[in-house]
């Protein structure tokens, strides 16, 4: 049986054959040519085969932004396996759930995450192999990443019947339950091609991202997108507001992507005389706050293109005409509508849940969750869980979240992953986590907590317990000790009531109190 090549592999081989010495990846003060991209990927692919990974199996990647993340991700794709990118902030029960639920047979991780991975390793049944970057093997770790790459630079010899999806299987935050693995059953690059055409980025020009590769935005739009159109990619280790524009100048970047509060954070930097002296022409933004939209464009002399999409299902909106506050209009032939609680379509100006459907039907599913998949796609329309409205011109506007989930600083957080940790505290009887507005846009995490009778607990003590047990960005900002939590007749938490209640006068604010959350 021949080895089926994925679209990603075909693109990499195309560039390596036609322009082998041309730089694709700009990293720190150096770069990697297309020939080096192919070489590193092939060596890692053969290393994975030597490790025992087979086509169709899943390999988790838990690394920050670095070239090795891309080589390993591409290598998994080359051998017909499936990549499972994991947020490097995940810890404890949520990390264990993702590794176990995905049936990952191997995990490649940074040494800084060694304790987090090894603490859950024995409770992941399918996990056979561990590979560490920046550290030594032994004590529960099988290989170093150097050993993974110490294999022949040649096309992997393995039978692959079905090529892998470009982004692998990503986990999206649940509503009240654990994160769900999203499997792409089909693939459509048409919306991305529309975005790139509108962006005006040309082959050979540079796109810049400081967003994490374990998210779809950086991996699909920036990394794979730049490969697709023959552009270069400048990759930062992490987002730094103070260094951001200097990076854009250093790498001669003409485009970058933003999420949520990034625009507000960049606007909070002290103005400089050279703010407009940068090579960037266009910014692909998701959830830019309307109140800083025009000011951002004018201060930095850029054009902002607003974009809406999600990992769960391919439905995309784009606003390339500068209509402030609008997510945009549908692209790629995807239909959108806004409905009431009974899925009845609403007219312009009415807020309801945002639904969409692709002309080819459902192109994703939730791994091992047929009921959740059916519920999400009920009636043939994907139910986003986002609240929206549209106007007479067909522009859609984001109006909040219907689901009991939050989005803080570009990260999705489920109520479950916060509550499951809080409820482990011996002094906590019950808790509910919900979103309240952030001054940066998006959400802050607030929790209502019922303390066991006769037990003393302070907010700081509760957050001390949270640290290291959940992702740092999920640690609540507001803590409200309450006597009861609103529920329905069937004892379901009424998250809508809590959100409407907002930040209560009795709530403790960790930022105002000067409480620090560690990012380790």
Whether 185 is covered by a domain: the verdict is no
Whether 227 is covered by a domain: the verdict is yes
Whether pLDDT at 471 is above 80? yes
Higher pLDDT, 162 or 249: 249
User: How far apart (Å, rounded) are the C-alpha atoms in residues 29 and 230?
Assistant: 21
Whether 173 is covered by a domain: the verdict is no
Q: How many domains does the chain have?
A: 3
Whether 142 is covered by a domain: the verdict is yes
pLDDT tens digits along 324-345: 999 999 998 999 999 998 999 9
pLDDT tens digits along 128-141: 999 999 999 999 99
Q: What percent of the chain has pLDDT over 70?
A: 97
Domain identity same for 253 and 373: yes
Task: Return the SS3 of 39.
Answer: helix
**pLDDT, mean of residues 30-41:** 99
Pairing of strands 232-235, 82-85: unpaired
Whether 172 is covered by a domain: the verdict is no
Domain edge (last residue) among 401, 433, 462 = 401
pLDDT tens digits along 209-222: 999 999 989 999 99
Other CB atoms within a 10 A radius of the CB of residue 244 amount to: 21
Domain identity same for 237 and 345: yes
415: Cβ contacts below 8 Å, ≥ 6 apart: 175, 176, 404, 405, 406, 432, 433, 434, 493, 495
Other CB atoms within a 10 A radius of the CB of residue 270 amount to: 6
Whether 180 is covered by a domain: the verdict is no
Domain identity same for 88 and 50: yes
**Over the chain, what is the mean pLDDT?**
92
User: How far apart (Å, rounded) are the C-alpha atoms in residues 44 and 274?
Assistant: 42
Whether pLDDT at 204 is above 90? yes
Domain identity same for 137 and 11: yes
Range of the domain at 433: 405-513
Whether pLDDT at 428 is above 70? yes
At residue 166, the pLDDT reads: 78
Domain edge (last residue) among 401, 431, 466 = 401
Among 474, 429, 431, which Cα is nearest to 449's?
431
Tell me the β-bridge partners of 60. 84, 107
Other CB atoms within a 10 A radius of the CB of residue 39 amount to: 18
Whether 335 is covered by a domain: the verdict is yes
Domain identity same for 442 and 336: no
Domain identity same for 394 and 413: no
Domain edge (last residue) among 401, 422, 454 = 401
Domain identity same for 233 and 131: no
């Amino acid at each position: 049986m021949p080895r089926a090549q994925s679209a990603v592999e075909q693109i990499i081989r195309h560039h390596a054959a036609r322009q082998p010495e041309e730089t694709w990846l700009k990293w720190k003060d150096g770069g990697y040519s297309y020939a080096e991209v192919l070489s590193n990927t092939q060596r890692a692919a053969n290393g994975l085969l030597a490790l025992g990974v087979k086509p169709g199996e899943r390999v988790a990647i838990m690394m920050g932004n670095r070239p090795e993340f891309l080589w390993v991700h591409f290598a998994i794709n080359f051998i017909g396996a499936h990549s499972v990118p994991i947020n490097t902030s995940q810890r404890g029960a949520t990390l264990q759930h993702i590794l176990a639920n995905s049936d990952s047979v191997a995990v490649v991780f940074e040494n800084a995450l060694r304790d987090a991975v090894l603490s859950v390793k024995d409770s992941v049944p399918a996990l056979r192999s561990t590979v560490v970057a920046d550290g030594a093997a032994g004590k529960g770790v099988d290989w170093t990443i150097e050993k993974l790459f110490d294999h022949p630079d040649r096309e992997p010899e393995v039978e692959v019947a079905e090529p892998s999806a470009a982004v692998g299987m990503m986990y999206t935050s649940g509503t009240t339950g654990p994160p769900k693995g999203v499997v792409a059953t089909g693939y459509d690059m048409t919306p991305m091609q529309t975005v790139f055409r509108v962006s005006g980025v040309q082959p050979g020009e540079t796109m810049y991202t400081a967003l994490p590769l374990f998210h779809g935005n950086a991996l699909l739009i920036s990394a794979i997108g730049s490969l697709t159109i023959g552009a270069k990619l400048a990759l930062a280790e992490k987002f730094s507001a103070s260094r951001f524009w200097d990076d854009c100048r250093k790498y001669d970047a003409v485009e970058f992507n933003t999420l949520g509060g990034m625009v507000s954070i960049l606007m909070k930097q002290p103005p400089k005389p050279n703010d407009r002296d940068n090579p960037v022409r266009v910014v692909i933004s998701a959830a830019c706050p309307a109140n800083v939209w025009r000011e951002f464009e004018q201060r930095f002399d850029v054009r902002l293109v607003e974009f809406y999409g999600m990992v769960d299902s391919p439905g995309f909106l784009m606003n390339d005409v500068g209509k402030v506050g609008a997510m945009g209009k549908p692209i790629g032939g995807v239909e959108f509508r806004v409905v009431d609680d009974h899925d009845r379509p609403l007219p312009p100006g009415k807020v309801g849940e945002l639904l969409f459907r692709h002309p080819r039907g459902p192109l994703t599913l939730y791994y091992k969750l047929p009921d959740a998949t059916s519920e999400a796609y009920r009636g043939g329309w994907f139910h986003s869980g986002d609240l929206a409205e549209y106007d007479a011109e067909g522009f859609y506007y984001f109006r909040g979240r219907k689901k009991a989930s939050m989005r803080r600083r570009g990260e999705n957080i489920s109520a479950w992953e916060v509550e499951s940790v809080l409820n482990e505290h011996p002094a906590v009887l019950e808790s509910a986590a919900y979103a309240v507005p952030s001054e940066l846009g998006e959400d802050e995490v607030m929790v209502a907590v019922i303390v066991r009778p006769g037990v003393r607990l302070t907010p700081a003590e509760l957050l001390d317990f949270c640290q290291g047990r959940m992702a740092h960005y999920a640690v609540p900002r507001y803590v409200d000790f309450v006597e009861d939590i609103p529920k329905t007749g069937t004892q379901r938490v009424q998250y809508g009531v809590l959100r409407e209640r907002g930040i209560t006068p009795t709530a403790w604010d960790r930022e105002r109190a000067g409480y620090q959350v560690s990012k380790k």
